[in-house]
Structure 1
C-alpha cells in the first residue's frame, strides 16, 4: 500500500514539473500568447549630446562666446572671441576634427582662446560627424543583383572627389565667414585640425581663395578621398600654407611627401608653403600648446597683410616662427 501511494505521488510530481507547452499539447484549447510591451528604440545622437553638454559647460561664464549660426537649412554652434588688442588683424576660422566639438581641448581650445591676445579674433564652428557612431551597420548582400550601398559619396567622373558632408560643411563655412564680416573683420584665415584640415584645404582650393592663409594641423583625409587625391588640392592653392604635421608612421611621412610635391608644382611659388614635422611638439600640456600658439601666430604675422600691428615678434626662439633660408 505504501509503495502504491509513493508511486502515485512521484507520478504527480513528474507531471507538474513538465513545461507548460507540453501540458498544453493534450489540450484542445489554443494557449494564450502572453503580450509583451516593448518600448520604442531611441537612436543615440552623440553629436547633439556633445554640443548640448558643451553649451551647458560654457553658459555660466562664457555665454558671450556662444553664437547660433544659420547656414540656410539649419542652425549650428559657433564660439566667437573678439580680438584682444586695439589693432585687430583679422579672424581665424577653426574647423575641429571628426567626433569633436568647437572647444576641443587638443589644438582648438588653446588656439581659439590665445590668438586674440595676438590681434586675431577667432570663430570655431561645429563640424558635422563624418559617420555616426550610432548608425546601424548594414551587412552587404552576396547577391550580385542587389542594389549597392550608396551611403558614401561617389567621386565625380571628372577626376575630382567630393568629401563626405562636403556641401554641408562648405555651407557652414560660408555662413561663418558672413558672421565674421558682420562683426567688422574683413581678413580671414582658415585653421583645420585633422579631418577639419581636409575640409579647410578642399574649401580653399575649390573656391580659389587668395591673399589669406591656411593652417593645416595633423591633417587626415575624409572618405572617399584618398590621401593622394586630397594632397593634389594643394597644387591649385593661391594662399600661404602652414602644414604642421606629426611624422609618427610611414603613412604620415608618405602623405606629407605628397603634399610637399603638390606644393612644388604650384605656379605662384611666392606664396609660402611651410611644412613642419612637429613630432617633438606632440605632447600635452601648456608647453606644447604654447609652441603651437607661437608657430601659428608667427606664421600669420609673416604671411598675411598686417595693418600697423604694435606687438612685435619676440627676439627669442625665432626658429619657432619660420625656417632659416637654405644657403
Structure 2
C-alpha cells in the first residue's frame, strides 16, 4: 500500500510540473519568430508624375529616354536629336501641371516636329507640387479663462449676455488670424520648396543640352510650365538660355509671383503665344501685354492663335510654325 501511495504522489507532482515546462519552452522561442511574423512596412507611394513617367518608359523607344539627375531626384526626359548635320540648338520643353513629357497637346507634337526643323528637342517631366497637396487644417486652442483663488470664495456675479458674445467673437477672431498666418507661412514654404525642386530639374536639362554642343538653348513652356520657365529665367538668369516661348501660359494657384509681374521684366526675348478664341487666355494675355508696355526696353512679344477643336493636327501645326518662325525669323 505504501508503494502504491508513493507512485500516485510522484505522478501527481509530475503532472503539476508539465504546464511550467511548456511555459518555459514558449519563453525560449527565438525573438526572430516574432520579427518574422510582423508585417513588412509598406513602401512609400509613388508621385503621380513618377507613375506617368513609368508608363512612358514602357511605351516609348529606349533611345529617346534620358534619366537626368537633379540633386537627390532623378527624372525622365525625352531626347530627340536634330535631323541635321549642323543643328541650330536645343529646345527644352516644360509641360504644365498634370501633363507628361509626351503630352498630346503642344508638348508631344513640338518635341517630334522640331528635329525636322534643325533643332534638338528635350522634353522634361516635372514633379508633383507640394502647393497642390492637401493642406492640414491648424486647430487653434482658445486660451483658458483665469480661475479664482481656491482660498477665496468670490461672490457670484451675473455676466451680461452681450459681454459673453463679445469675448467669444474676440477669441474666434484671434483664432482665425493665427490660422490664416500659419496657412500663409505653409504656403510660402511649399512654394519655395517647389521652385527649388523644379529649378534643379531645369538646371539638369540645361546642362544636358550644353553637353550636346547646343549653339542656342530655348525654353518652351506650356500651361503652368510656362510660368515655371519664366520664373526660372527671372530668378536664376542662366546665361546659357537665349529665348523663352510661352504657350497658353497659366499661373499656378498658391504661388508667390504671377506671370503678369514676371514676364515683362525678363532679360531674354520672350514670345507669349495665346489662343485669341479663348476668352480667359485672351484677357490674361492682355494684362501681360499692358504690363510689358510699362517696362522700358521690354523684349516681350505676343503671338495669337486660333483654336481648332475639330482639327487638332492643323492646330498643332499652326502652333509649331508660329513658334519656329519667331525663333528663326530668317527662315
TM beyond 0.5: yes
Instruction: Identify the residue that residue 66 of structure 2 maps to in structure 1.
Output: 67
Instruction: Identify the residue that residue 78 of structure 2 maps to in structure 1.
Output: 79
CA shift, 1:129, in A, is 1.9
Inter-CA distance 274–281: structure 2 relative to 1 (3 Å threshold): farther
Say which structure is richer in helix. Answer: 2
CA shift, 1:131, in A, is 4.9
> Which residues of 2 match residues 102-181 of structure 1 at below 5 A?
102-131=101-130, 138-141=136-139, 143=141, 144=175, 148-149=182-183, 150-153=185-188, 165-181=194-210
Q: Which ranges in structure 1 are unaligned for 5 or more consecutive residues?
A: 1-36, 156-161, 303-311, 314-327
Instruction: Identify the residue that residue 54 of structure 2 maps to in structure 1.
Output: 52
Q: Match of 2:328, SS?
A: helix
Report which of the two structures shows the higher radius of gyration computed on alpha carbons. Answer: 2
Of the candidates 236, 239, 249, which is equivalent to residue 219 of structure 1?
Answer: 249
> Which residues of 2 match residues 313-324 of structure 1 at below 5 A?
313=331
C-alpha contact (below 8 Å) 2:82/2:116 kept by paired residues: yes
Deviations 1:71-125 (A, max 9, x none): 1222111111111112311100111011221111110000001101111101111
CA shift, 1:141, in A, is 3.2
CA distance in structure 2 between the partners assigned to 1:252 and 1:97 by the alignment? 15
CA shift, 1:128, in A, is 1.0
CA distance in structure 2 between the partners assigned to 1:176 and 1:199 by the alignment? 14
C-alpha contact (below 8 Å) 1:209/1:239 kept by paired residues: no
Number of aligned residue pairs: 254
CA shift, 1:181, in A, is 0.8
Of the candidates 205, 211, 214, which is equivalent to residue 185 of structure 1?
Answer: 214
Q: Match of 1:126, SS?
A: coil
CA shift, 1:153, in A, is 2.0
Inter-CA distance 163–191: structure 2 relative to 1 (3 Å threshold): farther
Please state if 1:289 is matched with 2:316: yes
CA distance in structure 2 between the partners assigned to 1:263 and 1:132 by the alignment? 28
Q: Match of 2:188, SS?
A: coil
C-alpha contact (below 8 Å) 1:91/1:185 kept by paired residues: yes
CA distance in structure 2 between the partners assigned to 1:194 and 1:274 by the alignment? 17
Inter-CA distance 175–243: structure 2 relative to 1 (3 Å threshold): same
- TM-score of the superposition, structure 2-length normalised? 0.68
Instruction: Identify the residue that residue 326 of structure 2 maps to in structure 1.
Output: 299
- Runs of 4+ with deviation above 4 angstroms: 39-44, 247-251, 281-284
CA distance in structure 2 between the partners assigned to 1:209 and 1:260 by the alignment? 24
Q: Match of 2:206, SS?
A: helix
CA distance in structure 2 between the partners assigned to 1:293 and 1:76 by the alignment? 26
Q: Match of 2:182, SS?
A: coil
CA distance in structure 1 between the partners assigned to 2:248 and 2:256 by the alignment? 16
Supply the RMSD in Å over aligned alpha carbons. Answer: 2.9
Q: Which ranges in structure 2 are unaligned for 5 or more consecutive residues?
A: 1-38, 142-174
CA shift, 1:249, in A, is 5.8
CA distance in structure 2 between the partners assigned to 1:163 and 1:183 by the alignment? 31
CA distance in structure 1 between the partners assigned to 2:53 and 2:210 by the alignment? 25
